[in-house]
Amino acid sequence: MESTALATVPVVNMSAWALFMQADIIVKAVMIVLAGMSLWSWAIIFDKIFRLRSLFKQAEQFEEKFWSGQSLEDLFERVGQRPREPMATIFTAAMREWRRSSKGGVPVATGTAMLHERIDRVMKISLEREMDHLNRRMIFLASTASASPFLGLFGTVWGIMNTFTAIGASSDTSLATVAPGIAEALFATALGLVAAIPAVIFYNKISSDLSRYALRLDNFAGEFGAILSRQLDVKSA
């Protein structure tokens, strides 16, 4: 008798796709938004990781050329006017200002301090511009990390409200009636966590790598500024 009753219990499809298709329109919208945020977050993560790996390698190669002993003018000619690597861009900006001042015939005795200040300012602006470019879309990772759990929770609360409304209307509290609605609601929370957890982890890692790279650029700018300053002191002596 009991086995016959169990055999008549309908089988409920609890796959992810089935939960999505059975969900309320609001819960579906939340799930789609969370899935989109997760996919875009992973695209940003992979782009930043590979980009930073390449930039660290390029910076190492440029520093080897810079400290190889060749003249700054020769290196400037080899790098070109529009380098694609931030460290080379900072170097080019400073050398371009150096050349402009040299061609302008600024009196060494009175213009040395001003030239040094202009070169430092140009390198600082170039560094900030390059880091601003590298930091693009990082705000999306931070927003995904903070907002996704709340979006998922909203979907869960909405789904559970609909489930209890359906229970009240049908007066059927059996597990077969309650389980699908609760599962759909909890699936929204799961999607929120799936989007948020990688965003938090990789936001912290990428931010740390960006800070290390910015420090490397700043150290290079300081060293290069010191070299130019010594050359200016020699000219003014």
Mind listing the pLDDT tens digit for each residue in 151-177?
999 888 888 887 777 666 666 556 555
Residue 5 belongs to a domain = no
Residue 2 belongs to a domain = no
CA distance 191 to 199: 13
Residue 8 belongs to a domain = no
Residue 58 belongs to a domain = yes
Number of C-beta neighbours around residue 115 at 10 A: 21
Interval 39-93: pLDDT, tens: 999 999 999 999 999 999 999 999 998 998 888 888 888 887 778 899 999 999 9
Q: How many domains does the chain have?
A: 1
Residue 11 belongs to a domain = no
The lowest-confidence range among 16-25, 48-57, 140-149, 154-163 is: 16-25
The pLDDT assigned to 106 comes to: 52
pTM over 0.85: no
Residue 148 belongs to a domain = yes
CA distance 79 to 82: 8
Residue 46 belongs to a domain = yes
pLDDT above 80: residue 105: no
Residue 142 belongs to a domain = yes
Structural domain of residue 84, as residue ranges? 24-63+72-236
Tell me how far CA of residue 196 lies from CA of 148, 151, 204, in angstroms: 5, 10, 12
Cα distance from N-terminal residue to C-terminal residue, the chain = 108
